Amino acid sequence: MERIIGELQGKKAGPLLIFIGGLHGNEAYGIKALDNVFKKLKRQEAEFCGRAIAIRGNIEALKRSSRYIDFDLNRIWDKHHFNTIDKLNVVEYNELKELMEIMDAELNTVEYTQAFLLDLHTTSAPTIPFIVTQYDNHNQLFINRLNVPFITGLSGYLDGTVLSWFCRKGHCGLAFEAGQHHSRTSIIKHEAFVMLSMFHTGFYTGLHQSELNWLQNILDDELIPKHQHYSLVERYHIDADEDFKMAEGFTNFQRIYKGEVLATNKYGEILSDMDGNIFMPLYQDQGDDGFFIIEPVDR
């Protein structure tokens, strides 16, 4: 299994787009979408401004269709893990070093007007498409153009992500969640997001308005929330051996209320201590984020 999914090089100056699929090994549909889009554009001999590269994330976990082997690869991009990366024999440390080497090489050797990291994911719970990012000057204009619900406020709740590492370098980084892990619709929504990202960054402008409308309609959903911008306000961390089980039936952005039963463990029921919206409820075996609570941000 090769690390590089595809590369597209323009003849004119423009942005650098780095796409990642499969940072979690049970989320392979982003890879399929990237492969489809990059091959399609190569066949068309399309014209580009800048450079785009698509890379596989956790190759060893992808081989096993497992979220991770030793550590969650999207939680170790911080100083704590960087300080131990050469001291421990950890599968994800080797994956991280290879990914970082590729991305640093792109950032340090390629000429570009602006650099973007676009990290493709799917979720264990039903969801509409959404973005997780840092809402700052580097990201704001691009995110608003995509017109997809987005979540901010990660710091202190969701640390050690590759997008946080990329943003600390002064670039635009975001994670895009297309839908559920095993829904074929997630591939279609990933493809639409990749094409729209290429267009709105100025990398590929060969789309007519009718094509843009069609791609945006793919991302639109009848369950789109009333608000566009949300912030993380609470995270439930799963302790070892607590026998956490998420209550059935929750979907992303679903309204929840103080005192509502969200999950259970060996001690009893886990109740929400506030009104809000449920975000990324855990319906898979691996992972220590039980759920998050988000709330709308006034704009």
CATH number of residue 290's parent domain? 2.40.50.100
Q: Is the same domain home to 143 and 167?
A: yes
Residues 197 and 276 in one domain: no
Which of residues 189, 219, 249 is at a domain's end? 219
Same domain, yes or no: 150 and 290: no
Consecutive H or E run containing 236: strand 229-237
End-to-end CA distance of the chain: 44
pLDDT in tens, the chain (299 residues): 899 999 999 999 999 999 999 999 999 999 999 999 999 999 998 899 999 999 999 999 999 999 999 999 999 999 999 999 988 899 999 999 999 999 999 999 889 999 999 999 999 888 889 999 887 777 788 888 888 889 988 766 778 999 999 999 999 999 999 989 888 899 999 999 999 999 999 999 999 999 999 999 888 865 556 678 899 999 999 998 999 999 999 988 899 999 999 999 999 999 999 999 999 999 988 888 999 999 998 75
Among the three residues 219, 249, 279, which one is the final residue of a domain in this structure?
219
Q: Can you tell me the distance from the alpha carbon of 183 to that of 125, in angstroms, rounded to the nearest whole number?
A: 11
Q: How many domains does the chain have?
A: 2
Pairing verdict, β 150-152 and 229-237: parallel
Residue 226 lies in a domain: no
Q: What pLDDT is recorded for position 224?
A: 59
Q: Domain range for residue 26?
A: 4-219
Domain shared by 171 and 245, yes or no: no
Contacts of 216 (CB under 8 A, 6+ apart): 147, 192, 196
Q: Do residues 38 and 124 both lie within one domain?
A: yes
* Domain end call among 219, 244, 277: 219
The SS3 call for residue 5 is strand
Give the C-alpha separation, 299 to 289, whole Å: 28
**Do residues 215 and 237 both lie within one domain?**
no
Q: Are residues 25 and 70 in the same domain?
A: yes
CA atoms within 13 A on the CB side of 201: 31
Question: In this structure, are 163 and 264 located in the same domain?
Answer: no
pLDDT at res. 256: 95
CA distances (Å), origin 203, targets 147, 157, 195, 217? 18, 33, 10, 21
Res 228: pLDDT: 85
Instruction: Tell whether 155 and 257 lie within a shared domain.
Output: no
pLDDT at 225: 63
What pLDDT was estimated at residue 221?
Answer: 65
191 in the same domain as 257: no
For residues 211 and 250, membership in a common domain is answered with no
| CB atoms near residue 285 (< 10 Å) | 9
Distance CA 219, CA 277 (A): 21
CA contacts within 13 A on the Cβ side of 41: 26
Same domain, 24 and 163: yes
Task: Identify whether 224 is part of a domain.
Answer: no
